[in-house]
Amino acid sequence: MEQLNKRVRDDLAKIEFASGNWCVPHQHNGRDVLDVAIIGGGQGGLATCFGLRRRGVANTCIFDMAPEGEEGPWVTFARMITLRTPKHVTGPDLGIPSLTPQSWFEAKYGEQAWRDLDKISRHDWQDYLLWLRDVLDLPVKNEHRLADIAWEDGLLRLTFTGAGGAEHVVWARRAVLATGIEGGGAWHVPDFIREGLPKSRYAHTCEQIDFEALRGKRIGVLGAGASAFDNAATVLEHGAASVDLCLRRKQIPTVNPYRWMENAGFLSYLADLPDLLRWRFMYKIYDLNQPPPQDTFWRCRKHPNFAYHPGTPWTAVREENGAVVVTTPKGEMEFDFLIIGTGFIIDLTKRPELGRIASRVALWKDRFEAPADEQSALLGSHPYLSNAFQFQPLEANDPLAPMMQCIYNFTFSAMPSMGLAGATISGMRFGVEKLTNCIGRSLFVEDGALHLQSLLDYNVDELTSFDPPPEQA
Q: Where do the structural domains in the chain lie, given as residue ranges?
A: 2-185+345-453, 189-254+291-342
Which DSSP string corresponds to 281-305? HHHHHHHH-PPPPHHHHHHHHTSTT
CATH number of 2-185+345-453: 3.50.50.60
Residue of 411, 331, 326 whose CA lies nearest to 43: 411
> Phi and psi for 5 in degrees, rounded to 5?
-60, -40
In this chain, the answer to whether the domains covering 2-185+345-453 and 189-254+291-342 adopt an identical fold is yes
What residues does 327 pair with on adjacent strands? Answer: 316, 332
304 exposure class (CB count in 10 Å sphere: 0-12, 13-18, 19+) = exposed
DSSP character at residue 464: -
CA distance 269 to 254: 27
Q: pLDDT tens track of the chain, all 473 residues?
A: 999 999 999 999 999 999 999 999 999 999 999 999 999 999 999 999 999 999 999 999 999 999 999 999 999 999 999 998 889 988 899 999 999 999 999 999 999 999 999 999 999 999 999 999 999 999 999 999 999 999 999 999 999 999 888 999 999 999 999 999 899 999 999 999 999 999 999 999 999 999 999 999 999 999 999 999 999 999 999 999 999 999 999 999 899 898 899 899 999 999 999 999 999 999 999 998 888 999 999 999 999 999 999 999 999 999 999 999 999 999 999 999 999 999 999 999 999 999 999 999 999 999 999 999 999 999 999 999 999 999 999 999 999 999 999 999 999 999 999 998 877 898 999 999 999 999 999 999 999 999 999 999 999 999 998 988 887 75
User: CB under 8 Å to 463, separation ≥6 — which residues?
Assistant: none
Virtual torsion, Cα 299, 301, 306, 311, nearest 10 deg: 110
CATH of 189-254+291-342, one of 3.40.1080.20, 3.30.565.10, 3.50.50.60, 3.30.930.10: 3.50.50.60
Does the model's pTM come out above 0.85? yes
CA–CA distance from 74 to each of 82, 453, 454 (Å)? 10, 48, 46
